[in-house]
Amino acid sequence: MTDWVPASCTLPTVEQPLRVAEFDALFAERLLDASRPDRLRLEMVISDGEGAEATVRELVGRESDCCSFFTFTVDSGPERIRLGVEVDAAHEAVLDALQERAAAAAAGRGPS
């Protein structure tokens, strides 16, 4: 499940599937759109709601702590949260995997 996690990630191996599940849940519940304006940048639009922005900020904060190669930006607007994710060229495959997981989780959400 987490074979794409690079060795530079300092999150203990046993905790990695739990973190992946947190991102999957966020994407399944709230992802509205995702685009790749650049090979090293992923932009996602997440629906806002009670506690959503705090959840996003807390999750990406913890991810930044263990995977310093990620640069996250979180901007909130009316009913939407914009989440930007950037990596360096050495970690492009990680961004690819994150985008694939986001798309798969969002597609499996079912009708609203």
pLDDT tens per residue, range 10-22: 565 677 778 888 9
H runs (alpha helix) in the chain: 16-30, 52-66, 92-107
How confident is the model at residue 100, as a pLDDT?
92
Residue 91: which residues within 8 A CB-CB, separation 6 or more?
6, 8, 69, 70
Q: What is the three-class DSSP state of 38? A: strand
Residue 103 corresponds to which amino acid?
A
Q: What pLDDT does residue 80 have?
A: 96
C-alpha–C-alpha distance, residues 57 and 67, integer Å: 15
Looking at residue 81, what is its pLDDT? 97
Domains of the chain: 32-106 (3.30.70)
The answer to whether the beta carbons of residues 3 and 47 sit under 8 Å apart is no
Q: What local confidence, expressed as pLDDT, does residue 3 receive?
A: 55
Q: What pLDDT does residue 65 have? A: 87
Segments of the chain scoring below 70 in pLDDT: 1-13, 109-112
Whole-prediction pTM: 0.85
Residue 42 · residue 98 · CB < 8 Å = yes
